[in-house]
Structure 1
Amino acid sequence: MNKTLERMLNHEELTREETKDILIGITRSEYPPEQITALLTGLQMRGVTVDELLGFRDGILETGVPVPLDCERYVDVVGTGGDRKNTFNISTTACFVIAGAGYKVAKHGNYSATSTSGASNVMARHGIKFTDDIGKLNRSLSECGIVYLHAQLFARAMKFVGPIRKSLSFPTCFNLLGPIVNPAKPQCQLLGVATLDQMRLYNNVYRKIGIDYAIVNSTDGYDEISLTSDFKVATNSYERVFSPEDIGLHHARPEELVAGATEEEAAQIFDSVLNNTSLPAQKEIVVANAAFGIQVLERGSKGIDECIAIARESLDSGRALKTFRRFVELNS
């Protein structure tokens, strides 16, 4: 590690294999906390490279719990977090809309770090019991089209850096790993990012991983399609800036996205969208995000207008709600 730190001081980049080995070494307690702190600080100061990030990803997946699912194609919908907008559970709600439309979803998530309610918060609020039992996970995917993977059960390496990350007053490259360490290794992903720099980074990451993807960023800093502004989408095949009107939807106000002050309030918004009793803006935001996830699953063969119609019908018909209720039955 001392040699690695010397290279960092000389502004040298590490290879994918080197950062993988470092991650594995961290799980074996081979380095004192001071050296890990120095490494993470150095990477944050100069910016992590694509290969460095992929190496950490490789190490986390190799030392974690794999999830072999009995399905060839499924999507994960996730945000990087950290935009500090305290939005309701948009990605999680969109997952049930996608599953309600007949597609398969492997949602990877955790408790919230910066907002009122993360994916695991809203799941737990509805009585979901997190599990790493592969049989139960495959039954959920088979019978209701969606499975939930609580990150703490699978990414065992993260606990080794948890205390160090908490002691630092700034984010590290480990904050970027959440979206790319889904243990089911989905072939499709819709990712929301808070900045265009992150969009460029993940664009290159996904190209190296070799999956179908869409990365979205709202120009006013939301790590999802917020409809509060124009938003950019980068996929395997195109990059484009959309306005809400371009996709037949309306502008939303920031206050319409807020999760509230408590987990209970956030869960009530989640429920209201699935029950089709939410604010119109809340429904449209979920429909927009679900639609781009559907487009990824369809490999871009369907236009976004058609995908929006599919997502909207999933909600209007009650199929998204029916999917969620069956999910709760299977996972409580």
Structure 2
Amino acid sequence: GHRSVSSKCGSADLLKAVGVNIEIPQKSVLDCLDKIGIAFFFAPKFQQSWQSSQGPRMEIGARTIFNILGPLTNPARIKRQLIGVYDTSLMITLAKVMKELGAKQVMIVHGEDGLDEISITGKSRIVELINGEIYDYTIAPENFQLLSAPLSSIQSGSCLDNIKILKSILKGKKSPAMDVAILNAAAAIKVSGRVNSLNEGIEFARESILSGKAKEKLDKLIDLTNDTKKQIH
């Protein structure tokens, strides 16, 4: 992940704001993955050749081809991945490229409202690569007993706004934001191979939140990334 380029708060901005140390050495990031099963790969630490593009991208302030190149150059060389795209014309091409790169299961998603994720405002298109086969289909919130909601209900502003939303979700407070988080988490869980369907993924994600396991995982990430004694240089 990276700091914000086309929005007010990127994934790196949010995690840093809630207390995750995103600047830890590469070996410490891998240690997080081994010890607690979660880690944040801060792009500038792993893709240093991209540093020179950050300034121009921020000046442009809009999505560019770099938003697509990021997943293609993932330093972890993972075989399973959830990728959000801003342009549906890229979806099939991206799936074919991921196939050529040896990916086992990839889900590429786009909301019809323009979001580069699965949305709850209406339909979302999914292009899924599973063991060499590419599937193209559309889903909607009602397919999963979720209520549709306007885009304004899931849009956020500053990092402070996003922190409040994240804390609310982790406390299990029902809201459109929680629904969209659960739906996208379900997609990631399905891609991981832990479940066979989005419905199963939704139940998995919901239980993780309501049981407190999701918050506990974030707390562990915060603690481990800030424990300098445990960091590997």
Deviations 1:18-54 (A, max 9, x none): xxxxxxxxxxxxxxxxxxxxxxxxxxxxxxxxxxxxx
How high is the TM-score relative to the length of structure 2?
0.86
Give the superposed CA RMSD: 2.1
Give the equivalent residue in structure 2 for 1:276: 172
Alpha-carbon offset, residue 171 of structure 1: 5.9
Unaligned 5+ runs, structure 2:
227-233
Matched residue count: 221
Give the equivalent residue in structure 2 for 1:220: 113
Q: Does 1:112 align with 2:4?
A: yes
Q: Does 1:324 align with 2:218?
A: yes
What residue identity is the alignment partner of 2:49? A
Give the equivalent residue in structure 1 for 2:231: none
Q: C-alpha separation between the residues in 1 aligned to 2:59 and 2:7?
A: 19
Structure 1 residues 126, 172: CA separation in 2 closer, same or farther (over 3 Å shift)? closer
Task: List aligned pairs for 1:142-181, cutoff 5 A.
Answer: 142-162=34-54, 172-181=64-73
Deviations 1:158-214 (A, max 9, x none): 133445556769765334212222211222111111221121221122111121100
What residue identity is the alignment partner of 1:230? K
Deviations 1:281-330 (A, max 9, x none): 1111111001111111118x612211111111111111001111111101
Task: List aligned pairs for 1:239-254, cutoff 5 A.
Answer: 239-254=136-151
- Checking the alignment, whether the CA contact within 8 Å between 1:273 and 1:282 is kept in structure 2 is yes
Unaligned 5+ runs, structure 1:
1-108
Give the equivalent residue in structure 1 for 2:181: 286
- Checking the alignment, whether the CA contact within 8 Å between 1:259 and 1:266 is kept in structure 2 is yes
Q: C-alpha separation between the residues in 2 aligned to 1:169 and 1:303?
A: 36
Structure 1 residues 258, 311: CA separation in 2 closer, same or farther (over 3 Å shift)? same
Deviations 1:52-106 (A, max 9, x none): xxxxxxxxxxxxxxxxxxxxxxxxxxxxxxxxxxxxxxxxxxxxxxxxxxxxxxx
- Checking the alignment, whether the CA contact within 8 Å between 2:190 and 2:201 is kept in structure 1 is yes
Give the 3-state SS of the residue equivalent to 1:148 in structure 2. coil
Task: List aligned pairs for 1:225-264, cutoff 5 A.
Answer: 225-237=118-130, 238-260=135-157, 262-264=158-160
Counting aligned pairs with the same residue, the percent is 28
Structure 1 residues 331, 166: CA separation in 2 closer, same or farther (over 3 Å shift)? closer
Give the equivalent residue in structure 2 for 1:32: none
What residue identity is the alignment partner of 1:112? S
Q: Does 1:136 align with 2:32?
A: no
- Checking the alignment, whether the CA contact within 8 Å between 1:226 and 1:252 is kept in structure 2 is no
How high is the TM-score relative to the length of structure 1?
0.62
